[in-house]
Amino acid sequence: MKHLEDELLALRDEVLNMWDLVYSQLEKAKSALLENNKELAYEVISREKRVNAFELMIDSDCENHIALYSPVAIDLRLVLSLLKINSMLERIGDFAEGIARFAIDTNNPRYENLIKDIQVEKLFDAVLGMLQDARIALENEDTKDAVRLFSQDDMVDDLYKQSLIKIAEFIKENPDCALDCIYLAILDRKLERIGDYCNNIVEEIVFYIDAKVMKHCGLKK
């Protein structure tokens, strides 16, 4: 029994390590964009291979655990949740890589004021906070703090909608920058999607701990 518990803790720790890597990737992508640091952007891109390798390893370990131990009840919920969380973390890593590539391709100086105007840094800080809070919730097995992230995602959605309006206004005044602005809107969309993934991760944590399915339940409280 102790061996089974140790195996489950090892699986969880693998996912938490993956979490730290993805968080670092997103944090560096933020710095690369806001500080125009191309070298840091290239580092994010090169480290994406580590994120992918981590995902494959965790998938394999979770599948092997199910095959070897046939877990039930809360143990099975944990393994299934870790599998899904692992996949979502990999997608967030993909978004971080995409942001880094955008940072490399960005050369228009007029972007600097627009990036400030649409509060890209605030969007970054919001989703980084959500990602960190969700990790703490899993580590502490605390669903009370986890569900508070749903309201944070609402704030991310509002910031995203406001940014689209400001980008549209900028295009009207600077039609020659339309294509670049579309890329910037796509970047904002990546950040908004990261917020959605953090939401989905919280749903998996609640499923594991409380055996409650929150998917497709409408307004979450």
Residues 116-163: pLDDT tens digits? 899 999 999 999 999 999 999 999 998 887 788 888 999 999 999 999
With 0.85 as the threshold, say if the pTM is over it. yes
Closest CA to 188 of 218, 217, 214, 166: 166
pLDDT recorded at residue 106: 77
Q: Which residues in 206-220 are b (16+ Cβ under 10 Å) and which e? A: bbbbeeeebeeeeeb
Per-residue pLDDT tens digits for 167-212 = 999 999 989 889 889 989 999 999 999 999 999 999 999 999 999 9
* Residue 168 token pair: 């549209």
**Helix or strand or coil: residue 173?**
helix
Average pLDDT, stretch 104-111? Answer: 72
Domains located in the chain, CATH noted = 2-210 (1.20.58.220)
pLDDT recorded at residue 33: 92
For residue 102, CA distances in Å to 4, 97, 137, 180 come to 44, 9, 31, 10
Average pLDDT, stretch 75-81? Answer: 97
Average pLDDT, stretch 60-79? Answer: 96
Q: Is the dihedral of CA 190, 193, 194, 197 positive or negative?
A: negative
Contacts 24+ apart (CB under 8 A), 50-56: 50/21, 51/18, 51/21, 51/22, 51/25, 51/89, 51/90, 51/93, 52/90, 52/93, 54/14, 54/17, 54/18, 54/21, 54/90, 55/18, 55/86, 55/87, 55/89, 55/90
Amino acid identity of 195? G
Please say if the pLDDT value at position 219 is more than 50: no
For residue 99, CA distances in Å to 10, 153, 186 come to 31, 20, 9
